Amino acid sequence: MEITVKPKANLLFSSYLLLFVIVGNQVGIGVMGFQRIIFREAGHDSWISVIIAGISTHLVAWVMLKTLDLYGSTDLYGIHEDVYGKWLGRIFSSLYIAFLLMGALIVLRNYIEVVQTWMFPDAPAWLFAVLLLFLMVYGVSGGIRVIVGFCFLSLFFTIWMLLLLIYPYQYAEWIYLSPVMEASMIQLLKGAKEMTLTIVGFEILYFIFPFLKEKEKAGRYTHLGLLLTTCCYLLIMIVSTIYYSEDQILQAIWTTFMMFNVIQLPFLERFEFVGISLWILAIMPNLLLYTWAATRGMKRIFQWKQKHALYLFTIVLFGVSIFLNTRLKINALNDFSGKFSFYIVYVYPFILFIIAWFRKWLKRKI
Amino acid sequence: MKRRIGAAGLSLFISATLVITGCAQQKILDKMGLSVVIGYDRVDKDRLLGTNVLHQFDPMASESVQIVASTAYTSKGTRDKSNLEMAKKAVSGQLRVTLYSEQLAKEGIINLVDTLARDPTIGARVFLAISKGRAHDILKHRYPEFGNIGTYMYQTISQNIEGESMISPTLHDFMHDYSSVGRDTILPYLEQRGKEGNELVISGAALFQQDRMVGVIPTKEVFYVKLLRDRFQAGSIEISIPREVLGKYMKVSQKKRGNDPIFLVLDTLSSSSTFKLVDKNRPQINTEIKITGRLQEVSEVVDLSKPEIIHKIEKAISQAMMNEGNKVIAKLQKLETDPIGFGEIYRSSVRHSNLTRDKWYEMYRDAKLNLKVEMTLVRTGVIE
């Protein structure tokens, strides 16, 4: 396997689109109900946890970019091979592929759960799985440029929903934010850690990096994207805190959608139905990017055809998502993946950077 | 290659769409009975009487509403039982008001409200209300002056909330206050009045301790609760001030009318309040309220062109509001209910208070809650 990747010029895309990729892959399923997990730790100071989590993403993304810069133009699979050698590298890369698939699985399964709870309680899960996976196969077959284009559209189709926070804001009670900083630093950090599931997604940087036209501009757009996501989350968190009482947040499963409950328009009694249906546009980038990165791994490590890997993964995703059929199992999956992602997304990049940097340094010495 | 996927994709997409629409439960308007109001009463120790007011979509029907009642052990149980005697399926997507009888409310209604909050087809803006007497009687009664009790009841409540004479009693507000540590719910209290009970009136507000009703206050006192709990933006009130305040400015003929108070009507009221926790061990909260408004009516002829008279009136109004307000607060303390949310003020000003409901009720009982009001008359209409 070649360590450096030099995709054909017609596959490259402009760097500013990286912003949409980062936001598209971060915003997905977590934002529908991240409030209560953080509230459990940090209470009404959760918004501070959101800021802390946001800042940490900048730090991690910076390290990721530094690691990638050491090689010029490569992806995580190339770095793994260089750092760990052929066999160990393959094992690490396979683990990462499993992690990526888990990301796709979580998005898929949680979205189906939301649709079933709110809109079609009597429609079977497999049907939605088939529909979503079909769209996913269609998108991933189109290649990276199609996926990036979709991310671009997806942001514009969903970001206006932030304006809807005006409705719950009418019921706002600012008193619920005070006293500020009642939670201890440890609680705030714990809360920030619970943000993991919601805020991850920017690790896609590792895979998409070689496809950028101007690689030196990657940092700027990555950080802009991360900032945008953090601002959205912060806004949602603050509005939820002042709209709900603490116990209400702790009970609500999909707090963000629950807030839509208060919107009543003359021509549309219940807005959630529109919101949830449109949310498919926000979760598709997750599905597409994660699966694409995973199939790309199969191609890079095992020289599979990307198409074959895609079919295999689709069947796996379908099977597992059918198996996870109750709220309890889904919660267990979310909890597990939250913990797992924390180490993979937050801790691992630092370790990888140190090893990679050390190797480069050794080579230069010799 | 790409085109093949496109064609196959399109056909699969269309078939999947067809299959999905076939799978989901259909909801055809003609086959639905839309619940607008649901009333609940206690029948015996553990059975409920649910009264469902449904909209009729049948142009041939002589009445625009249908009323179905049935008894069961749970609220959703009554709905299922009601379906047995209906040609159309009852659905709750258009539910506007749920009415609970006073008797039921005194036992606690959280399990009935919780099921509303749990149901995704019900919006957060459904109103909750308490009925004096049985909810069934109010809903079942044929009112000659209005045909559709369902929409009428909804509009009565919503009109009064918009006019700021009632505190918003939505499902969201109930659940919010119920799960807050330091604030209690307050809901409109409806009763039938007039000859043969042909009128439906909001006669006051029901006070709650969590989900248990503990008392009623008349609408006049609701004003003060609202003043302290929310902000006024366009409310109005009738208030009385003692006659001697304006005594020397009145004509001799008017002075002779004895000692009846003078009545004033203020409207376009807007208020802002500041709360200050002075003592946290034995809670003392000082509240300062600033109100501005327009003097709309005075029950006596008074020369309003002189600034000193206006100042006198302002002072008298402030004093009257302060007295009334403090009385209402004392009453609420006695009933051990905190619809104003002093508990939240305590919680938000004391770090690490770990306030719980029980703790707060204990403190609330003998907390010192002082109210100060400052009234400014902005204008007095088009003539002085």
| Residue range B89-120, pLDDT digits in tens | 888 888 999 999 999 999 999 999 998 888 88
Q: Mutate one of B14, B113, B119, B121 to test the A interface: name it (highest A CB count within 10 A).
A: B121
A244:B124 CB<8 A: no
Report the C-alpha gap between A18 and A208 in whole angstroms. 9
Instruction: Count Cβ atoms within 10 A of the Cβ of residue B149 and give its class: 0-12 exposed, 13-18 middle, 19 or more buried.
Output: buried
Give the nearest partner residue to A127 out of B23, B175, B344, using CB atoms. B23
CB environment A195-227: b (16+ within 10 A), e (fewer):
bbbbbbbbbbbbbbbbbbeebeebbebbbebbb
Burial of A11 (0-12, 13-18, 19+ CB in 10 A): exposed
Secondary structure (DSSP) of A55-102: HHHHHHHHHHHHHHHHHSS--HHHHHHHHH-HHHHHHHHHHHHHHHHH
Q: Which residue is closest to B230 within chain A, CA to CA?
A: A173
Averaged pLDDT for residues B46-68 = 82
- Strand (E) or helix (H) holding B35: strand B32-42
Give yes or no for residue B249 having a pLDDT over 80.
no
DSSP string over B147-190: S-HHHHHHHHHHHHHHTTSS---BHHHHHHHHHSSS---EEEEE
Cis peptide before B307 (omega within 30 of 0): no
Q: What pLDDT, on a 0 to 100 scale, did the predictor assign at position B1?
A: 47
How far is B212 from B74, CA to CA, in rounded Å? 18
What is the SS3 assignment for A196? helix
Q: What are the backbone angles phi and psi of residue B124, rounded to the nearest 5°?
A: -80, -5
Q: Report whether B88 contacts B32 (CB < 8 A).
A: yes
Rounded to 5 degrees, φ, ψ at A229 are: -60, -45
**Helix A272-302 to helix A125-141 angle, to the nearest 10 degrees?**
50
On the question of pLDDT at B4 being above 60, the answer is no
Higher pLDDT, B243 or A199: A199
Please give the Cα distance from A301 to A87 (Å, whole number). 10
Give the distance from residue B358's alpha carbon to the nearest chain A alpha carbon, in angstroms: 16
**A129-140 per-position pLDDT tens digit:** 998 999 999 999
Cβ <8 Å between A138 and B5: yes
Interface residues on A facing B, Cβ-Cβ cutoff 8 A: 117-124, 127-128, 130-131, 134, 138, 141-142, 171, 173, 175-176, 178-179, 182, 244-248, 251, 258, 261-262, 264, 269-270, 272
Residue A309: its H or E element = helix A306-323
CB A241 within 8 A of CB A250: no
The domains of chain B are located at: 29-218, 231-379
Q: Are A321 and A132 contacting, i.e. CB atoms less than 8 angstroms apart? A: no
The CATH code belonging to domain B231-379 is 3.30.300.210
**Full set of structural domains in chain A with CATH:** 9-333+344-358 (1.20.1740.10)
Q: Which of B23, B175, B349 sits opposite A124 (nearest CB)?
A: B23
pLDDT score of A298 more than 80: yes
DSSP-derived secondary structure for B65-115? EEEEEEEESSHHHHHHHHHTT-SSEEE-TT--EEEEEHHHHHH--HHHHHH
Q: Count how many pairs of residues, chain A against chain B, have C-beta atoms within 8 Å.
A: 83
Nearest CA-CA distance, residue B322 and chain A, Å: 24
Could you say which of A120, A142, A262 has the minimum Cβ distance to residue B172? A262
Cα–Cα distance for residue pair B156/B291, rounded to 1 Å: 26
Rounded CA gap, A330 and A29, in Å?
12
pLDDT the model gives residue A185? 93
| Residue B23: per-residue pLDDT | 60
Question: Element (H or E) spanning B265, and its range?
Answer: strand B262-279
Instruction: Return the ∠ at Cα B255 (arms to B249 and B258), rounded to 5°.
Output: 140
Average pLDDT score over residue span B78-83 = 85
Which residue from B minimizes the CA distance to A123? Answer: B24
The minimum CA-CA distance between B30 and chain A, rounded to whole Å, is: 18
Q: Which residues of A touch B173 (CB under 8 A)?
A: 171
The confidence band for A300, taking pLDDT boundaries of 50, 70 and 90, is: very high
What is the SS3 assignment for B33? strand
Q: What is the mean pLDDT of chain A?
A: 92
> For B195, which DSSP code?
G
Chain B residues lying within 8 Å of A118, measured CB to CB: 120
Pick the closest to residue A181 from B356, B347, B352, B345 (CA basis).
B352
